[in-house]
């Protein structure tokens, strides 16, 4: 059986370089060709797994399966150090010619799903998997953080009416009281900033645990195509997983919809997973 691979061509752009460092002029490649093989797909999958498990923004891998060309001719560049850059949704390639020590040209990013030419499996979400001990442990941590977030949020918004009242009082009182109100306003603003920073920290941790839940229980990572049929419904919701957010006891999976033609649409779609109240 013969395996058919996809040959991909990407345009190349020069990267910013420190002009204080003088290098001899070089003719840069204008095109990058690579073959999307099963081996490359496995490498990308492993990079995404590492990226997700270690909470990385990008994984960079030395690449040997790319060719850099000058226009559409037989002339191609030798001795280029090539790197592949993988993030949650895309890959790109960069390269460097001697005497450059760092990459000084790069391709545009290309969607990992686009590489597969829409032959993308759509993953089903089975909520029964949330009954496992691992899932319950992650859910309880997310719920605990969600309660903490709500408490901090209530305190944060409770400060605003007090600040407004003090400002009104400041405009109608004598100079001595004015000094005291300035002090109180400063203290309230400081407290508000502290509460807001804590809310951001809690939200970041909630989102991280939510992504871990989707990955460890359902095997989902950003860029995956999902299908979900809510209880008491015969209509499935299909989307590409781009982000997730927790609101109260609900996990929202967010991303562009998948059309009937099997393409990504412009409309943003949501999948809601209820954790339920603590018993």
pLDDT tens digits along 62-72? 988 888 887 66
- The alpha helices in 54-174, defined as continuous H runs, are 112-115, 133-172
Residues 156-174, mean pLDDT to the nearest whole number: 71
Residue 2: the pLDDT is 39
Cβ(181)–Cβ(169) under 8 Å?
yes
Structure-token pair, residue 122: 């759509």
Cβ(66)–Cβ(82) under 8 Å?
yes
Question: 8 forms bridges with which residues in the sheet?
Answer: 34
Question: 123 forms bridges with which residues in the sheet?
Answer: 226
Mean pLDDT of all residues belonging to the chain: 81
Among 76, 48, 81, CA closest to 64: 81
Strands 225-228 and 122-124: parallel
Does the structure show a pLDDT above 70 at 188? yes
Structure-token pair, residue 38: 């099963």
Does the structure show a pLDDT above 90 at 145? yes
Confidence of residue 150 (pLDDT cuts 50, 70, 90): very high
Distances from the Cα of 1 to the Cα of 4, 117, angstroms: 10, 21
3 state DSSP class of 248: coil
Q: What does DSSP assign to residue 139?
A: H
pTM value is 0.61
The C-alpha angle 166, 168, 170, rounded to 5 degrees, equals 65
Confidence of residue 6 (pLDDT cuts 50, 70, 90): low
Q: Would you call 151 exposed, middle or buried from its count of C-beta atoms within 10 A (0-12, 13-18, 19+)?
A: middle
Cβ(225)–Cβ(233) under 8 Å?
no
| Sequence-distant (≥ 6) Cβ neighbours of residue 193 within 8 angstroms | none
CA 229/CA 242 separation, integer angstroms: 19
Strands 31-36 and 6-14: antiparallel
Residues 211-236, mean pLDDT to the nearest whole number: 82
Residue 169: the pLDDT is 62
Residues 243-251, mean pLDDT to the nearest whole number: 89
Cβ(113)–Cβ(223) under 8 Å?
yes
Q: How far is CA 29 from the centre of its chain?
A: 30
Question: 9 forms bridges with which residues in the sheet?
Answer: 33
Instruction: Name the residue ranges covered by the structural domains of the chain.
Output: 6-119, 127-274
Residues 126-138, mean pLDDT to the nearest whole number: 86
CA 86/CA 64 separation, integer angstroms: 15
């Amino acid at each position: 059986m013969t395996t058919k691979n996809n040959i991909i061509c990407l345009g190349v752009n020069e990267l910013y370089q420190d002009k204080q460092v003088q290098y001899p002029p070089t003719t840069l490649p204008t095109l990058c060709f690579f073959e999307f093989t099963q081996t490359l797909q496995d490498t990308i999958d492993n990079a995404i797994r590492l990226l997700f498990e270690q909470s990385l923004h990008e994984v960079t891998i030395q690449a040997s399966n790319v060719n850099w060309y000058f226009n559409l001719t037989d002339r191609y560049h030798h001795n280029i150090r090539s790197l592949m850059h993988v993030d949650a949704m895309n890959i790109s390639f960069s390269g460097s010619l001697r005497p450059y020590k760092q990459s000084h040209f790069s391709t545009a990013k290309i969607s990992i799903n686009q590489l597969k030419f829409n032959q993308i499996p759509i993953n089903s979400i089975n909520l029964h998997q949330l009954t496992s001990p691992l899932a319950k442990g992650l859910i309880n941590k997310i719920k605990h953080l969600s309660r903490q977030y709500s408490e901090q949020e209530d305190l944060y918004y409770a400060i605003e009416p007090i600040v407004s009242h003090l400002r009104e009082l400041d405009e109608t009182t004598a100079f001595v009281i004015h000094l005291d109100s300035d002090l109180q306003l400063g203290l309230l603003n400081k407290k508000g900033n502290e509460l807001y920073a804590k809310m951001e920290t809690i939200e970041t941790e909630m989102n991280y645990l939510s992504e871990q839940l989707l990955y460890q229980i359902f095997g989902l990572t950003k860029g995956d195509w999902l299908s979900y049929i809510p209880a008491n419904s015969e209509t499935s919701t299909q989307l590409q997983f781009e982000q997730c957010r927790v609101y109260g006891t609900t996990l929202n999976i967010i991303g562009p919809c998948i059309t009937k033609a099997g393409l990504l649409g412009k409309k943003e779609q949501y999948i809601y997973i209820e954790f339920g109240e603590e018993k």
